[in-house]
Structure 1
Amino acid sequence: MKLSHLRDVLAVSEHGSLRAAGRHLGIAQPAITRSIRDIEHELGVPLFERYAKGVRLTEMGRIFARRAEAIQAEMRRAEEEIKQLKGQTTGQVSIALSSASSIALWPKVHSYFRKTYPDALLKISESLFPAAEPEILEGKLELYVGPISHVGASPRLLVEKIFDNDRVVIARKGHPLAGATSFDDLADAHWIDTTLTMSHNTTRTRDIGFEQWFKEKGMPMPKVVVHARSVLVTMLTVANSDLLAILPRQWLDYEPTASNVAPLKMFAPLPAPSVYLARRRDLPLTPMAEHLADLICRVGGNYAERASPA
């Protein structure tokens, strides 16, 4: 098996046809066809299903492609690591961040990072841990920064706490309940329930902390009229309606939306999942990715000191 076989399988998978893959790679279609036939013969299984408009991966093909992606990513990292050790500042890092960690850490982390690696390509996605974990394990992501649920992480991951966090009840400025002083005042309030965790098969998982908080206060279950997976949508809805929501306090620091919302002062901060840095335990980071991870820990430590009560 050659690396070109991996390249060709991934190209055909991405482009959906042998002809399109050949155009993308600058290789004649017969050569691509021969390469795919050779690797299928070597493995003893078909990797693609042929149909009228092109091809698609078989179940075995999906398994092979997932491994091929990881091998290609590791080859790229090996090449970049050598170049970075020689003093070059090029390369790429893939990282996923939650919205709260982005607001709290990313502006300073990115600024410091660019001073050392001005030419680096950063591939950034907004994600929560259930979606990011398999991508880290498969080598598609190098770092995740955000909350990790009580279920915990795979033992194959190295996880480090960055800072503890809390949440606040927010409402639009000028909300009729802004001056509320008792839980009875909230009896008729309408709420947005934000989804903080998602299962791998995309079935929605309720935010246990949301309901638990009402139980601990001896309050009836809230009247939820919106289930939102997007924190930005939640903020926009709160800012333009009388709905209430519970969100990480970092959103009060996000200028584009914070000017339109405020915390309800009758509530003390509510506990929230801590923010962690996660990476593969058995996969060494490139110097560039290691530097980014160090900056996240350093900036996170400073953030924790500023956010802690005096």
Structure 2
Amino acid sequence: MRAIDLLNGRLKLRHLVLVAAIADQGSVLRAAEHLHLAQPAVTRSLREVETLLGVELFVRGPRGVTPTMFGEAFLEHARAVLAELRRAGERISGLADGEVGTVTIGTLLAGSNVLLPRAIAALKEDRPGITVIVQEATFDAQVPRLLDGEIDLILGRLNPIGDLRGLRQVTLYGEPVRLVARHGHPARTRRGLSLADLLDYPWVLPLEQTALRAELEQLFRAEGLVPPGNLVECTSVLTVRTLVRDTDMIAALPELVARTDAGIAPLPVPLEAVRRQVGVTLPAHRSPTPSARLMLDHLRREAAEIRDLVAG
């Protein structure tokens, strides 16, 4: 098969939808039910795609289907095409009336506690017809979905994008990261409390693949310390706050997260080496949809007020 063969009209949009549905549902039968089609029709259409491509896209097994190497490659492009078509439909609708649409936000820990709820509330008051979808995951997990168009922007601490071409970042405000513990934590009774003293207690840290975790581990090593061995790895702000409030665990949290929980407070151990910038990460070569653009406008407005709150 030559690449030009995919442009001769034999590959249909329904083929892309069908292959994505089979992968998402894990079986031809469940894909047929999801698409409200008969199973033989789905099987026949899948055979058409595989014949056109000249490769097998799925391995059939007793519990369903698994994408082959060729299937994974085709799915990556199929999902990108479908995402772009969804974005095209939303853009046309948004240009027509500016009242409806969807914006999908990938969120990290910083910014999710104060900035994002305020911006969402302002957006919904301005445009009640816009649906806001918030999905939490690590930065590395969100980037492929951002580039594929499945999410519109990533909000949180600005991670170094390094060699990840195709991204741009917009800084919204600076927010310190603090080491926090419950009010009655025994470490608060120590004079001249240091980072080394805190190793006597359990910690809750971000996942290993996050930039904040890497920065914290670098901080320990810079002071000649071994990173905590007694720890829980977690990125859920609700779980982290509960663990810190109800146990002797120590965590590193954005200042605004710590401020909004009466049961926890910062410890007098600075984290000057940890980056502070909170902002959004966007695709560099794709314009935001009208809904995403409105979301960005509200994020900027609310961030301007938060800058004063953090400074105070």
Gaps of at least 5 residues in structure 1 are 200-204
One-letter identity of the residue aligned with 1:118 = P
With the length of structure 2 as denominator, give the TM-score of the two structures: 0.85
Of residues 293, 307, 310 in structure 1, which corresponds to 2:310?
307
- Figure out how many residues of one structure are paired with residues of the other and give that number: 299
Q: Of Structure 1 and Structure 2, which has the larger fraction of its residues in strand?
A: 1
Of residues 194, 209, 227 in structure 2, which corresponds to 1:198?
209
SS across alignment from 2:104: strand
Partner of 2:247: 241
Q: What CA deviation, in whole Å up to 9, does each residue of 1:59-109 have, x standing for no partner?
A: 111121121111111111111111111115222121111122111301210
Is the aligned partner of 1:276 residue 2:279? Answer: yes
Partner of 2:269: 267
SS across alignment from 2:175: strand
Residues 90, 119 of structure 1: 8 Å contact kept: yes
Q: Percent identity?
A: 28
Q: What CA deviation, in whole Å up to 9, does each residue of 1:255-310 have, x standing for no partner?
A: xxx1211222x33464533212111112222111111122212222321233125x
Give, in whole Å, the separation in 2 of the partners of 1:154 and 1:301: 28
One-letter identity of the residue aligned with 2:186 = P
SS across alignment from 1:181: coil
One-letter identity of the residue aligned with 1:272 = V
One-letter identity of the residue aligned with 1:138 = D
One-letter identity of the residue aligned with 1:298 = R
1:194 CA drift (Å): 1.1
SS across alignment from 1:246: strand
SS across alignment from 2:230: strand
Give, in whole Å, the separation in 2 of the partners of 1:179 and 1:306: 29
Is the aligned partner of 1:162 residue 2:164? Answer: no
Of residues 283, 296, 299 in structure 1, which corresponds to 2:299?
296
Task: Say if 1:165 and 1:271 are closer, same or farther in 2 by CA, change over 3 A.
Answer: farther
Q: What CA deviation, in whole Å up to 9, does each residue of 1:33-73 have, x standing for no partner?
A: 22111111111111111223432221111121121111111
Partner of 1:42: 52
One-letter identity of the residue aligned with 1:95 = I
Is the aligned partner of 1:229 residue 2:240? Answer: no
Residues 158, 169 of structure 2: 8 Å contact kept: no
One-letter identity of the residue aligned with 1:287 = P
With the length of structure 1 as denominator, give the TM-score of the two structures: 0.86
SS across alignment from 1:155: coil
Partner of 1:210: 216
Moved more, 125-134 or 1-10: 125-134
Partner of 1:177: 187
SS across alignment from 1:282: coil
Gaps of at least 5 residues in structure 2 are 1-10
Runs of 4+ in 1 over 6 A off after TM superposition: none
Residues 158, 281 of structure 2: 8 Å contact kept: no
Residues 252, 262 of structure 1: 8 Å contact kept: yes
Residues 190, 222 of structure 1: 8 Å contact kept: no
Give, in whole Å, the separation in 2 of the partners of 1:83 and 1:269: 46
Residues 18, 33 of structure 1: 8 Å contact kept: yes
Q: What CA deviation, in whole Å up to 9, does each residue of 1:152-211 have, x standing for no partner?
A: 462201211112221222121122332433136937731415126517xxxxx8824324
SS across alignment from 2:110: helix
